[in-house]
Amino acid sequence: MPLSAATDGFRLAYDRHGQPGAPPVLLLHGWPGDRTDMTAVAERLAPAHDVVVPDLRGFGGSDSHDRDPAEQYSAAAQALSLTALLGELGLSDVVVAGYDVGSRVGQQVAKDRPDLLRALVVTPPAPGVGRRILAEQPVREFWYQSFHQLDLARELVDGDARAARAYLRHFWSHWSGPEFTPDDERLDHLAVAYGTPGAFVASINWYRSGGGAVARSLAETAPDPADRVTVPTTFLWPEHDPLFPRDWSDRVGEFFTDVTVTPVDGVGHFVPVEAPQVFADAVAAAAAR
């Protein structure tokens, strides 16, 4: 498992699949996962692409220093590590693809360094939700983002692989589609990854940085047309994601100049894991544009 050079003192662990010199792809995982979320997607893309799959700051094999979350675990900080990794590997004209946290960070890369990207392929969260996130149904779903702000999260989960497994199993079961059940091997892997002392708190530094959907939705305003993301963007919007209903896709055109919303039926929040062929096909199509 190679490690990147340090950016702000953080090194990223990453896997690389396929052939250097082929069209490059950067795959970004979500919470509660790690870079192995993207294994099945990478395998499908590798024969014709150069696929880089990192752990984000605070996840998996990447560094997880005890630093101010707002400064070192925000979308901007995560994006800085990723653009440094692309530079280190000599990659440009890249398709960046991600879900959940990886989606938000990918969107940030597209804002900060559009010159490096060919296209963006992401799932929700998307901008434009606004105060709809405070409605009764979303409030019932997003409780965990408030919990992650509490020291109680550290006391109840951090350093306890059994507690981490039970906690993560809830999300992998509740957020997925009706035909998907997380298997024991997957949950055991995540229990180890998140159950190591300090690992769980490092992962929720994303939420403590203000990166969660609730904080971002309440703070966002539509940019001036000249400041919209110009990178061609595809949102793969799943049918059964309890966090992000499809009618929340109605304002994405206020934030992107070239955006397509593609429904993905039958699956939930974890599109790359539940429907890796669909995800891979969308990435390959974006690379071929």
CATH code of the domain in which 259 resides = 3.40.50.1820
Indicate whether 232 belongs to any domain: yes
122, 234 Cβ separation under 8 angstroms: yes
What pLDDT sits at residue 289?
86
Which residues form the catalytic set? 100, 207, 269
Return d(Cα 228, Cα 222) in angstroms, integer.
8
Closest CA to 14 of 74, 89, 76: 89
pLDDT in tens, 190-245: 999 999 999 999 999 999 999 999 999 999 999 999 999 999 999 999 999 999 99
pLDDT in tens, 46-67: 999 999 999 999 999 999 999 9
- Biggest CA pair distance of the chain: 49
Indicate whether 4 belongs to any domain: no
Backbone CA torsion sign across 263, 230, 31, 83: positive
Whole-number percent of the chain with pLDDT over 90: 99
Give yes or no for residue 118 having a pLDDT over 90: yes
Indicate whether 68 belongs to any domain: yes
Q: Which domain holds residue 115?
A: 14-287
Number of separate domains in the chain:
1
142, 214 Cβ separation under 8 angstroms: yes
* CA distances to 12, 96, 106, 225, 239 from 123, in Å: 23, 12, 10, 23, 11
Mean pLDDT, residues 125-136: 95
Indicate whether 236 belongs to any domain: yes
Indicate whether 6 belongs to any domain: no
Specify the pTM.
Answer: 0.97
Indicate whether 1 belongs to any domain: no
Indicate whether 5 belongs to any domain: no
Indicate whether 133 belongs to any domain: yes
Give yes or no for residue 1 having a pLDDT over 90: no
Q: Sort residue 128 into left (φ over 0), alpha (ψ -120 to 50) or beta.
A: left
